[in-house]
Amino acid sequence: MSEAPRIVLLPGDGIGPEIVAATRRVLEALGEFEFDGRLMGGCSIDEHGTALTDEVLDACRAADAVLLGAVGGPKWDTTDPEAPRPEQGLLGLRKGMGLYANLRPVRPSPALVAASPLREERIAGTDLLVVRELTGGIYFGDSGRDGDAAHDTCEYSVAEIERIARVGFESARHRAEGSGRAPRVTSVDKANVLETSRLWREVVGRVAPDYPDVELDHLLVDNAAMQLVSRPAEFDVIVTENLFGDILSDESAMLTGSLGMLPSASLGAEGEPGLFEPVHGSAPDVAGQGIANPLATFLSAAMLLRHGLERADDAVRIESAVDAVLERGLRTPDLAAAGESPVGTDEMTAAVLSELAA
Ligand code: IPM
Ligand code: MG
């Protein structure tokens, strides 16, 4: 690429601005980028009355990649159906940018296994990827109030299921490359109750023969939730619809003991910009104190480099630097065990920058 890649930064709300500013410094240590900071979420509601303006959506569509901090906070919490909500900005971006595939890798950092709520022998070896369908299902179906009732509708088409199933199979293949182990996809649905799930299971089964090297099994979502805590290390790729993916990815994230460590990528059609963001939220309770954990956003920037800019080497440099600072014992308050003295956002960032310079 001759010109510097253009990255739209959407710091958002709560700790978002702090962790995105830190991540910008990490990216700057790796090369030239053109950054374009924009408002999205609660901050945009305050300024423009809507969580996502057309102008910001257009800027995101025209960028090479988008890096998001977090959106939302108690200031904008409401059950009034007419009032704008920060989350609408995120949903608007997903739909407007066509980001149908959400990748949420879960791999506990070896230095942090003790932070897991699960016993070490249970969590050991866990390395899974949740592939969540992101632009369909109940999130985007017809919804509304009818007198004293309300409804949300779940709809899926064959085409929507097929394209996310392919992302699941391809990801499993890619992850297993050179590892000597057989790739596996677990498709999660509620086919014993829901018609959309029966279609889901049928279509995933129909796509599977195109990937004869990938093992496929199907789990009902309630069973999957249980298996995730009882035998997490046996999962490889989990592919599932929007709402189940929302729930199972938080459950998977907690397996590692720190939601504060996990990155995500939301991808659309080949060649279109992706959106990269930490899985954790805006943490309004710690915002503005200089103690937010920036590591999940650094790791999201690594996903941006790998999936968005095809710079896998730079991605690995960030990931190794994060591993190294954890090995050295640096912990932000959310990661610190009793008796460990935590560092703040700046100190953590400086440590990662010095690893990158080493
Ligand atoms: C997520 C979040 C969002 C979702 C919210 C903020 C709308 O929970 O990215 O998982 O439900 O998709
Ligand atoms: Mg969620």
For 211-255, the pLDDT digits (tens) are: 999 999 999 999 999 999 999 999 999 999 999 999 999 899 888
Give the separation between CA 69 and CA 27, rounded to whole angstroms.
15
3-state secondary structure 169-203: HHHHHHHHCCCCCCCEEEEEECCCCCHHHHHHHHH
Q: Give the pLDDT of residue 115.
A: 79
Residue closest to 341 by CA, chosen among 351, 333, 353: 333
Atom of ligand 1 nearest to the CA of 86: 6
Work out the average pLDDT over 19-37. Answer: 98
Cα three-residue angle 242-115-331, rounded to 5 degrees: 105
The residue count for the chain: 358
Mean pLDDT score of the chain, rounded to an integer?
Answer: 95
Q: Which amino acid is at 72?
A: G
Q: Is the pLDDT of residue 257 over 90?
A: no
- pLDDT recorded at residue 24: 98
- Clarify whether 75 is annotated catalytic: no
CA–centroid distance, residue 178 to ligand 2 (Å):
32
Ligand whose nearest atom lies closest to the CA of 243: 1
Q: Find the residues whose C-beta lies inside 6 A of ligand 1.
A: 87, 90, 246
Residue 259 has pLDDT above 90, yes or no: no
Centre of ligand 2 from the C-alpha of residue 30, in Å: 30
Region 143-152: mean pLDDT is 95
pLDDT mean over 187-199: 98
Whether pLDDT at 1 is above 70: no
CA pair distance 245, 221, nearest whole angstrom = 10
Using one digit for the tens of pLDDT, what is the confidence trace for 237-248?
A: 999 999 999 999
What pLDDT is attached to residue 156? 98
13 given a catalytic annotation: no
243 CA distance to ligand 2 centroid (A)? 9
More confident residue, 338 or 145: 145
Measured between alpha carbons, how far is residue 108 from residues 24, 127, 163, 253 in Å?
Answer: 24, 7, 29, 9
**DSSP state, residue 29:** T
The predicted-structure confidence for 271-310, as pLDDT tens digits, reads as follows 999 999 999 899 999 999 999 999 999 999 999 999 999 9
Categorise residue 357: left if φ over 0, alpha if ψ from -120 to 50, beta otherwise.
Answer: alpha
Q: Span 40-44, mean pLDDT?
A: 98
Mutate to test the pocket of ligand 1, among 71, 90, 138 (most ligand atoms within 8 A of CB): 90
**Helix (H), strand (E), coil (C) string for 60-105:** HHHCCEEEEEECCCHHHCCCCCCCCCCHHHHHHHHHHCCCCEEEEE
Query: Band of the pLDDT at 2, cuts 50, 70, 90?
Result: low
At residue 321, the pLDDT reads 97
For ligand 1, pick from 91, 246, 249 the residue to mutate: most ligand atoms within 8 Å of CB.
Answer: 246
- Assess whether pLDDT exceeds 80 at residue 190: yes
Q: Mean pLDDT across the stretch 134-162? A: 97
211 given a catalytic annotation = no
pLDDT digits (tens, 9 = 90+) for 68-94: 999 999 999 988 888 999 999 999 999
Identify the H or E element spanning 145.
Answer: strand 143-146
Q: What are the tokens at 187?
A: 């498709």
Q: Is residue 258's pLDDT more than 80?
A: no
Å from CA of 319 to ligand 1 middle: 24
Residue of 13, 64, 100, 139 with catalytic role: 139
Give the chain's radius of gyration (CA, Å): 20
The single residue of 36, 95, 127, 250 carrying the catalytic annotation is 250
- Which ligand is in closest contact with the Cα of 90? 1
Active-site residue flag, 246: yes
Alpha carbon distance 295, 33 (integer Å):
20
- The protein residue whose alpha carbon is closest to atom 10 in ligand 1 is 246
> What's the rounded Cα separation, in Å, for the pair 346 and 337?
20
Residue with CA nearest ligand 1 atom 8:
246
Look at ligand 1, atom 5, and give the residue with the nearest C-alpha.
87
Question: Euclidean distance between the first and final Cα of the chain, in Å?
Answer: 26
